Amino acid sequence: MNAPASHTNLLQGSCLCGNIRYEVSGQPLLMYYCHCIMCRKATGTSFATNMQVRAEDFSILSGQDDLKAYRSSPDELRHFCSECGSPVFSEAEHRRGILSIRCGLLDRDPGVRPSHHLYVDFKAPWDDILDGLPAYTDSVP
C-alpha cells in the first residue's frame, strides 16, 4: 500500500501572471520534447517541453475562470490563461485520462527528464537535436 503523498511531494505550477495555479498530486508519467507545428506556435518557441500526468492527479487551485481552451485539432484542446496567454495543459481524445502539461510553468524540479523527441520532421530549421535522445517523426511507436 502506498503512503499518501506529502504536501512537499506535490508539484505546483502557475501561469505568467499568477492567476492560474495548479498542482499535480501523482508521479509524472513521462517528459518529452514536442516539435510539432501546433506546439511550436502555441508556445512561441522551437519546441515544447511537456510532461504527461494522469488527469485525476491534476487540480486547478485558482484561476479556473481565467482558464480558456482552444480546439487546435478535432481531438485536442489546448488550455491557456486568458489574461497572460500562458499555455497550461492540453488534453486529447486519443490519450483520454492523460494530460500534457507545459513544463515551463512548474515551480520546481519535477524529478523526471525528457526521454524522447516527437514530430522531428516539423522541427524548426535552426534547432539541431544533439542530445542523443530517441527522435520520432511522429508519436512514439
pLDDT tens-digit profile of 42-53? Answer: 999 999 999 999
- In the chain, domain spans: 14-122
Average pLDDT in the 74-82 region?
95
Mean of all residue pLDDT scores within the chain: 92
* CATH superfamily to which 14-122 belongs: glutathione-dependent formaldehyde- activating enzyme (gfa) (3.90.1590.10)
pTM for this one?
0.87
Q: Are 57 and 25 in contact (CB under 8 A)?
A: yes
**Grid cell 487540480 — which residue?**
59
DSSP strand pairing (58-62 vs 114-118):
unpaired
**pLDDT value of position 7:** 47
Task: State mean pLDDT over 83-97.
Answer: 95
CA distance 100 to 50: 6
Decide: 81 and 19 in contact? Cβ < 8 Å.
Answer: yes
C-alpha 99/C-alpha 110 separation (Å) is 15
What is d(CA 29, CA 51) in angstroms, rounded to the nearest whole number?
Answer: 7
Q: Is 102 helix (H, G, I), strand (E, B) or coil?
A: strand
Residue 129: pLDDT above 60?
Answer: yes
